[in-house]
Amino acid sequence: MRYLNLKTKPLDMETGRKIVVLHEQDAEELGHFAGDRVKLTTPRASLIAIANSTKRMVQRGEIGTFIEVTEALGLKPGDVLSVTLAPNPQSVDFIRKKIAGEQLTAEEVYTVVDDIVEGKLNSIEMAAFVVAEHVRGMTTNEIVALTQRMVATGDKLELDISPVLDVHSIGGVPGNKYALVTVPIVAAAGLTVPKTSSRAITSAAGTADVMNVLANVTFDLDEIKQIVERVGAVLAWGGAVRLAPADDVIINTERMLRLDPRCQLLASVMSKKLAVGADRILIDIPTGHGAKVEAVDQARSLAHDFIELGRRLNVQVEAAVTYGGQPVGYAVGPALEAKEALETLRGDGPGSLVEKATSLAGIMLELGGAASPGMGRQMAIDILKSGKAHQKMCEIIEAQGGNSKIKPEEIPIGDKKEVVLAPSTGYVTHIDNKRINEIARAAGAPRNKGAGLRVILKEGRSVNKDEPLLEIYAEHETKLDEALAIAKRQPPIKIEGMLLEKMSHRPHME
């Protein structure tokens, strides 16, 4: 087998994949074509990487290694790598089989997941897999195998506690900061909730973005375990730990394709929950116009799929179909949502957030055996009103390195502000979730923590001309101008009067 010994040139760039670059003359000598796989070998270890060729980034006799490869092999500048061509992985055949609409065996699914984790699939093959999932779907057997292997190929949080509860919202609704209220309520009742969450992908703030305003969210697995054992809960960023790592690679491909295959959604959520040791899981499915799931019958179908998958995986799953037709609460954006969550824990939160957070907490309290069937919601309300949930949140914030004494009004929000006024008198008949997210992201959220918006009036409220509808906050004038331009060009709040249309017949006059 032809091979080359090349000197390492570390490249200070993350790609999310194991990728290297060869000088085009070395690539030609090796018989390599762009996107082919190569095997990299040192005296200590070896791995498969995707290779591309270049004229400028490296000289002949060098190999450029991006951060993922450099760290995986522990490379230093000038280290010698033995480089050989690697054959196409067997999983490519199985992806082709799925494209043809055939069912994969458990072993075939395992092989695909293994190759994803080991970085053996290039971007075209990853895209083919996601498209095949989207178009052809998967049977329950395939989804079970996919979930199990995604868990098995990553780390797992081992807790000597039972039961372990977790909650996940499939998202799609602005201002969905329920977890910062629900988790401390449940933990205050003595139950264990190791909640790991994502950062925002297309929304203005993920749970991890909101919690990051109050405390650190980046921990390794041992640190998460210590926090959970000390205070009963954590609100951490899942991307900092290697939980179901294949899922993270697949999600990156989904984001680029703007696809969200149902079978992958099921496997993704369940694998992350199983990886933290959860054996009782609540799935929140927001439903309504502008949410990910718009129709109630679709939400029920998805709920049944989650419950059946849980049964097959030997964990107890319940699902809640919640209203998702407009933002939860009034605040959208990391700091604004953290402020609203703290206000709610201190007894002064908006009704929609209180209702959603206590409803979900009530189901979890019943799931965990802390409340009798049918009594969970009232118990959750009592815990919230008593201040115990706020006290628990203070413990969580302190355990995660934050200021447990912070007051809502002390949370800094963007100092650049514009108010959007009602163009006419009438009633708020619709709030467009997607446009709300678009405006908040244009203002700088979630990257700028203080950016976002507050909805002043929600559906059903009467409004007078020139009355405030939205407050937009930003940390930079240019971002504020951009957000305001979107709000004026595509108003996210629809106002109508009681008279919807005037019709008449005029007789023909001769």
Q: Which of 114, 155, 260, 481 is catalytic?
A: 260
CA distances 333 to 69, 112, 352, Å, are 35, 37, 17
Active site residue 260: yes
Say how far apart CA 126 and CA 121 lie, in whole Å.
6
Query: Which of 286, 305, 325 has its CA nearest to residue 430?
Result: 325
H or E segment to which residue 356 belongs? helix 351-367
In contact, 232 and 191? CB cutoff 8 Å: yes
Helices then strands, each counted (H, E), the chain: 18, 18
Say which residue the tokens 């002043």 belong to. Answer: 456
Integer Cα distance of 180 and 389 in angstroms: 10
Cα(253)–Cα(207) distance, integer angstroms: 22
Q: Which helix (H) or strand (E) holds 283?
A: strand 280-287
Handedness of CA 96, 101, 103, 109 (dihedral sign): positive
- Nearest 5°: phi and psi at 359? -65, -45
Write the DSSP assignment of 2-30 as a string of letters. -EEEEEEEE-----SS-EEEEEHHHHHHH
For 506, counting Cβ atoms within 10 Å of its Cβ (0-12 exposed, 13-18 middle, 19+ buried), the class is exposed
Q: Are strands 62-65 and 19-23 parallel, antiparallel or unpaired?
A: antiparallel
Q: Looking up tokens 């039961």, which residue turns up?
A: 163
Strands (E), 379-432: 416-421, 426-431
Helix (H) or strand (E) holding 310: helix 296-312
Phi-psi region of 258 (alpha: psi -120 to 50; beta: other; left: phi over 0): left
Residues with a catalytic annotation lie at 260
